[in-house]
């Protein structure tokens, strides 16, 4: 690649068309959301990851009922086949693509098979994800926590996108939706591994959106709050916290598909973002107070800072005694 600086005339008309389409689809969504969804996805091929349960399974039903051909991706083939069978019973189109997305070769294989079977993928929804809730001090000996979350939440999403983008670019049409979290704005404690992967995913999404803004290929981030899905079930405290219902989460996803907005973010996320930029130290203190207030059971092999300090002090004392005797 040459390092010489070269200029070319930019395309400006696509910005005008995009603004016109933005308001047109928002109006359609407001007046008749069901009809708008059908107009947007009827006849489209949509690849949906994390489709075996929760938000993914519910969204798959809605998209198929609106006329889309839905490609269901998850590890559990049995669950995928049950969802596909129910869709077929209603006259919809759904196809099962089981695979482990944490394996990059599996990502390539799934995309290759999907393109071979259907000729194209119009919409990619990266909905699959893994969350880990653990303090950094308890993660020192668990570097694989970061590798696992990054592998599925970030690398797999980008691997699928990179496989499907060339076709979208050639057709000058496509939409990639990356499911993220309001945690990117709020930065809650104990989610360093999970949020690192989502920050990376959003960073890629915004760069891609900027680079393709003059085309008809769109990129979106969906910043969900806590949603009552199987992924949050292991964390007991969430039983007592206000969370979004799966039905509302599905409507968020469908709105994003219709409008192709750049980001979907609730009131809490916007408030957290404003707080972070306007009063960063205050925001940090609030999060830290909640972190200190909630006890977290340490792992069996954890050595506390107090114990480490005591060990270090004893070592220094013994060392000093030996030196005096010498």
- Of the candidates 194, 212, 224, 295, the residue annotated as catalytic is 194
Instruction: Yes or no: say if 40 and 89 are a contact pair by the CB < 8 Å rule.
Output: no
More confident: 243 or 69 = 69
Residues paired with 124 in a beta bridge:
47, 176
φ, ψ for residue 21, nearest 5 deg: -65, -35
Instruction: Yes or no: say if 179 and 162 are a contact pair by the CB < 8 Å rule.
Output: no
The 10s digit of each residue's pLDDT in 119-172 is 999 999 999 999 888 998 888 888 999 999 999 999 999 999 999 999 999 999
More confident: 236 or 73 = 73
* Residue 325's pLDDT band (cuts 50, 70, 90): low
% of the chain exceeding 90 in pLDDT: 67
Integer Cα distance of 44 and 34 in angstroms: 16
Integer Cα distance of 92 and 260 in angstroms: 23
More confident: 237 or 119 = 119
The 10s digit of each residue's pLDDT in 21-78 is 999 999 999 999 999 999 999 999 999 999 999 899 999 999 999 999 999 999 999 9
Length of the chain: 326
The radius of gyration of the chain from alpha carbons, rounded to an integer in Å, stands at 24
More confident: 153 or 324 = 153
The pair of three-digit structure tokens given for residue 17, joined into one six-digit string? 């068309």
Specify the pLDDT at position 103.
95
* Residue 323's pLDDT band (cuts 50, 70, 90): low
Specify the pLDDT at position 314.
57
Integer Cα distance of 84 and 92 in angstroms: 9
DSSP run (H or E) holding 92? none
Q: Is 240 a catalytic residue?
A: no
The pair of three-digit structure tokens given for residue 132, joined into one six-digit string? 């880990």
Burial class (CB in 10 A: 0-12, 13-18, 19+), 120: middle
Q: Residue range 266-281: average pLDDT?
A: 89
The 10s digit of each residue's pLDDT in 302-316 is 777 676 666 555 555
**What is the signed CA dihedral for 236, 242, 245, 246, rounded to 10 degrees?**
-40
- Is pLDDT above 60 for 98? yes
Q: Residue range 217-241: average pLDDT?
A: 74
Listed ranges 72-86, 186-200, 215-229; the one with the highest mean pLDDT: 72-86
Specify the pLDDT at position 168.
98
Specify the pLDDT at position 243.
80
The 10s digit of each residue's pLDDT in 202-216 is 999 999 999 999 999
Integer Cα distance of 149 and 144 in angstroms: 8
- Is pLDDT above 80 for 107? yes
- Is pLDDT above 80 for 297? yes
Instruction: Yes or no: say if 206 and 220 are a contact pair by the CB < 8 Å rule.
Output: no
Nearest 5°: the CA angle 186, 191, 194 is: 100
Nearest 5°: the CA angle 41, 269, 195 is: 85
Residues paired with 69 in a beta bridge:
45, 93
Return the exposure string of 84-94: e unless at least 16 CB atoms fall within 10 Å of the residue's CB, then b. beebeeeebbb
- Is pLDDT above 70 for 88? yes
Specify the pLDDT at position 255.
96
pTM of the model as a whole: 0.88
- Angle at which helices 267-278 and 280-293 pack, to 10 degrees? 120
* Residue 8's pLDDT band (cuts 50, 70, 90): confident
């Amino acid at each position: 690649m040459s390092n010489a600086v070269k200029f070319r005339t930019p395309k400006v008309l696509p910005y005008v068309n995009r603004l016109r389409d933005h308001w047109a689809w928002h109006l359609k969504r407001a007046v008749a959301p069901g009809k708008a969804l059908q107009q947007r996805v009827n006849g489209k091929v949509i690849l949906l990851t994390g489709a075996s349960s929760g938000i993914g399974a519910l969204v798959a039903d809605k998209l198929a009922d609106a006329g889309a051909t839905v490609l269901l991706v998850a590890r559990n083939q049995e669950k995928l086949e049950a969802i596909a069978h129910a869709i077929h019973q209603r006259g919809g189109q759904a196809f099962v693509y089981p695979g482990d997305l944490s394996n990059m070769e599996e990502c390539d294989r799934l995309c290759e098979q999907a393109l071979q079977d259907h000729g194209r993928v119009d919409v990619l929804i990266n909905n699959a994800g893994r969350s880990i809730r653990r303090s950094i001090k308890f993660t020192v000996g668990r570097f694989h926590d970061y590798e696992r979350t990054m592998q599925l939440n970030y690398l797999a999403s980008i691997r699928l996108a990179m496989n499907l983008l060339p076709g979208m670019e050639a057709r000058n049409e496509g939409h990639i939706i990356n499911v993220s979290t309001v945690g990117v704005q709020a930065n809650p404690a104990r989610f360093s591994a999970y949020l690192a992967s989502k920050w990376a995913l959003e960073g890629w999404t915004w760069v891609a959106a900027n680079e393709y803004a003059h085309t008809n290929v769109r990129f979106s981030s969906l910043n969900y709050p806590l949603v009552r899905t199987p992924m949050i079930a292991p964390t007991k405290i969430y039983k007592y916290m206000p969370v979004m219902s799966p039905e509302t989460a599905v409507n968020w996803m469908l709105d994003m598909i219709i409008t192709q907005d750049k980001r979907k973010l609730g009131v809490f996320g916007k408030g957290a973002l404003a707080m972070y930029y306007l009063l960063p130290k205050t925001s940090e203190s609030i999060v830290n107070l909640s972190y200190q207030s909630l006890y977290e059971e340490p792992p069996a092999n954890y050595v506390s800072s107090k114990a480490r300090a005591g060990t270090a002090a004893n070592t220094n004392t013994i060392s000093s005694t030996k030196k005096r005797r010498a």
